[in-house]
Amino acid sequence: MYINPLIDQMLNHRSYREFKDLAVEEEKIQALLEVARHTATSVGLQWASLIRVKDPEKKRALAYIGHQDYIARAPEVWVFVADGYRNAKIAEEKGAPSPYAWDVNFFAQALTDAALMAQNVMVALESMDLGGVFLGSILNDPDRLVEVLDLPQGTFPVLGMLFGYPDQAPQKKPRMDMAFRTFVDGYEDRSPYLKALADYDEEMQTYYDLRDANRRVDCFSDQVVKKIGTMNLKRNRLTKVAKDQGFHLYEEGPDPSVKA
């Protein structure tokens, strides 16, 4: 397999949740912001923004939402946001308010932009001897998150991230073979899966997640059963919260005769 320094860095990605009591230098922060700025964006409209959470009270609020105390201790806490507000305001200021500004098409573009920005920032920070972790847990209570971050209509939080100088040495988490996730010209049903994934199930049970370092994790297939078999009521409000934030998440889109 072809390897260069960047690929080697990416293949050795780990999730860090505990950090040294050291601030990240401002020159590194500015470099990461430039990486975020230059991330690819759908139709050039730059639908993603980020919020750098510095207020200790807001950090604690995010830690409470995510049920993860270490969020409050992290040197850097960033939240990547799907942002349709800015473009809607630009159109409004140009005298051309649009009923389509926050439709499902642009919502999907904004979600993609925010996710791409977050991944680019993670790759960049790891090249600086920093470490981090993505935070899907900030969406455990999306209503409260919108309130904590003062998010206006036309915006939606997508993903959080912690980073700093690592103060732990986590294992690299095993991944299943790409033979189960790579197809040619169309999706292929590779079932039955349990027998084929038996080795991966066994490998997963050798992994220690430092969030609960005293026990090994469940095998992958058991994790699937546990996680998709449990309903998270607040996370199931994500579509409702997106609608409350002004996005038109319905099939036909807004009536073009109705002004935004």
Q: Nearest-CA neighbor of 86 among 154, 6, 5, 172?
A: 154
Class of 5-171 in CATH: alpha beta
Tell me the average pLDDT across 137-153: 96
Instruction: Output the pLDDT for position 67.
Output: 95
Q: Is the pLDDT of residue 260 over 50?
A: no
- Whether the CB-CB separation of 197 and 176 falls below 8 Å is answered with yes
Q: For residue 141, what pLDDT is reported?
A: 94
In the chain, where are the structural domains located?
5-171, 172-207+214-244
Q: Given CA atoms 9, 108, 83, 46 in this order, what sign does their dihedral have?
A: positive
115, 40 Cβ separation under 8 angstroms: no
Which DSSP string do the residues of 8-20 spell out, in sequence order? HHHHT--B---B-
Identify the pLDDT of residue 232. 76
Residue 67's alpha-carbon distances to 29, 70, 169, 241, in angstroms, are 27, 9, 22, 20
Poorest-confidence range of 93-102, 225-234, 248-257?
248-257
Contact 142, 244 (CB under 8 A): no
Q: Which residues fall within 8 angstroms of residue 76, CB to CB, at 6 or more apart?
A: 24, 29, 52, 132, 161, 162, 163, 164
pLDDT digit string, tens, across residues 43-92: 999 999 999 999 999 999 999 999 999 999 999 999 999 999 999 999 99
CA dihedral over 240, 242, 246, 252, signed as positive or negative? negative
pTM for the whole structure: 0.90
Q: pLDDT, tens digit, for every residue of 173-202?
A: 899 999 999 999 999 999 999 999 999 998
Give CA–CA dist 96/254, Å, rounded: 16
Neighbouring C-alpha atoms within 13 Å toward the C-beta of 223: 10
Residue type, 136: G
